[in-house]
Amino acid sequence: MIVYNRDLSWLGFNERVLHEAACADVPLLERFRFLAIFSSNLDEFFRVRYPELAALSALGKKTKRKWLGEDEEIVAAKVQEEIRRQQTRFGEILQKQLIPALHQQGVTLCYHQPFPEEHATEVRQLFLSEILAYLQPVLLSERDATVFIPENNQLYLVCLLQQTGQDVLQYAILKIPAGPVPRLWSLSPIEGHQYIVFLDDMIRAHLHYIFPGFECLGCYAIKLNRNADLHLEERFEKNILSAIERQLKRRDFGAPSRLLYEDTMPDNVLLFLSSYLGISYDEMFCGGRYHNLKDLMDLQVHDPNLCFTARTPLLPARLSTCTDLFRAIEERSFLLHFPYESYSPVLIFFSQAAVDPFVTEVKVTLYRVASESIIVRALMNAARNGKKVTVFLELKARFDEANNIRWGREMEQAGVQIIYNIPEVKVHSKIALVHRQSKGGSRSYAILSTGNFNEKTAGIYTDHTLFTADGPTCRELGTLFLFLEKGKQPKGKHASGFEKLLVSQINMIDRFEALIAGEIQKMSEGRSGMIRIKLNNLEEPYMISLLYKASRAGVRIQLLVRSICCLVPGVQGQSEHIEVRRIVDRYLEHSRFFIFGSDEEATVIMGSSDWMTRNLRRRVEVCTVLDEAEHKNVLIEYFGIQWRDTDKAVRLMPDMTQQRLPETEGRHNAQQEIFDYLKHKG
């Protein structure tokens, strides 16, 4: 079976992000934002994926082929070559396109250039009064490598010093305190022209204040990426919270995966760093003067004309005058689409549950929580108001562990029952359940979503959220929550109770397999089979093999895959009936839904799960079958609009290159057209 390497596929997605930064039709500040996203993505790749790739290089050839699909050295070489190519392209876009365009708008970003002499006094005062207090210079010695241990992803300046009147060279290190102070500083305008400088350059210009009595012969930027993935031996840990907190402290000092150094650094300094830090040359990557360019996200330019036109989120007519959300859900389930539609109903759902005197119990899974979360505040308020509140809080949400731990402690203090995790399993589902007891009897209300309960990301991620009081759905969710509370997966006869829900590790793979088989059966009967799927990632080998099987049977398959796609489309005899497209635009495509069949007979499913091994086999994911014709039709139309995109969509070719779609029937931007569709639909 032909599959594509997942790391090369992911790099293809990041290249697509880079394309948006180079696109002249994208507003200027948004192009800087895409560069920042690219930089942040690449940092995460080196912190999470690249260490695994490097570790595999030590394995035998058979093992390498098993995990990588081809010789590891070839894959590693391709990965490094592609990263270098993309970084070169990044620099060209920034220096040759974006910085000159910003200058034409009256803003100079001082990049590889000194700040104007007119700003010398201002910069010196800022340095002395607001920056110097945060600097901790460290003199380095090869005899004691414990003096300086670089933290993960932090910026440093390596200084080559010579004491006045002596010939001995001395190395020193300075941590750039980005975080406590801004990385980018906006200086006083000169004749109406704005100037922005890097904190790095403000420090470089004043090294004589930091190292009095020394001459600085050279100053070079470095950054060390470390393996930041958490590997928890949970079967030996009784207290998962303490285990993760210990791992978080170690994360910043994990095994090095990349040392990024300034391209002007001479060989003698490189040799010293390699020896001092115990890093091989294979782990050292040449870069520019400025690292961590994700900070371009915070460019201090305030001009709405240089940004995407703001869209006011829509609110369906039936909710615009709603005073009782639970009654509205009882009357009819509704499906919302973020960020096109307002996130306020989700916030109201939890806030109303907190104060409604008839609500007795609230249960929810939380994966990535906003740093300031109205939802969590509502849950704490519900507990204080005497409701039984149970929160399944996933502590292994990568890079959000510390934030989730903080919220977990606050919720526990408010009386919320916190269940932290199931050993060796991540809970990635996005579900909530409210029980209400009134004179009319008991009733339950549920939310099933493709996205996290996070009001911040809801403004930039595309997701779908179902609100329902459907009895079978709520009962199945109640059963699932009970199993989660017990800390184990339902098996045997208990697993057979899920009909409306598809739950990973229980019935999800079997249900998807049956639906694919159903489309194959249609082809054998002389009817048309069709599968349409929208995912973030497609990597699971067995699911790929099922899609290949369907393609060989003649089933027409359309896939919208935002990021990793290991399935190779358009291969004769294997996948000639499969087409894969990728969309990157102002919103991050995050939703997952599945359409099997066509027209009124189609089965439509939405939920939290991608088709990756981790989602289907090592996580708790929940998808739900949509029964109401209105909901099914909206997602079918939603998919169709995205499939017609000729503006931001690309087609993945058999060699996995990305090809723009021809504008044979005009230019179509799916995200704008979805907004218009939902607006007119009401």
CB 579 within 8 A of CB 570: yes
Q: What angle do CA 82, 83, 84 make, to 5 degrees?
A: 90
In three-state secondary structure terms, 481 is helix
CB 612 within 8 A of CB 536: no
Q: What is the number of H-type helices and E-type strands within the chain? A: 22, 28
316 token code pair: 């369906």
Q: Is the peptide bond before 662 cis (omega within 30 degrees of 0)?
A: no
CB 316 within 8 A of CB 333: no
Q: What angle do CA 473, 479, 480 make, to 5 degrees?
A: 90
At residue 339, φ and ψ (nearest 5 deg) are: -90, 10
d(CA 516, CA 510): 10
d(CA 494, CA 451): 27
Instruction: Identify the H or E element spanning 448.
Output: strand 441-449
CB 596 within 8 A of CB 522: no
Task: Kindly name the residue from 428, 464, 631, 668 that is annotated as catalytic.
Answer: 428
d(CA 131, CA 134): 6
d(CA 72, CA 53): 8
- Is residue 193 annotated as part of the catalytic site, yes or no? no
407 token code pair: 């919220």
User: Distances from the Cα of 512 to the Cαs of 497, 519, 593, 617, 623, in angstroms?
Assistant: 17, 11, 12, 14, 11
Beta pairing, strands 593-596 & 431-438: unpaired
CB 159 within 8 A of CB 218: yes
d(CA 115, CA 299): 16
User: Distances from the Cα of 382 to the Cαs of 312, 417, 474, 521, in angstroms?
Assistant: 30, 12, 20, 50
In three-state secondary structure terms, 457 is helix
Q: Annotated catalytic sites, by residue? A: 428
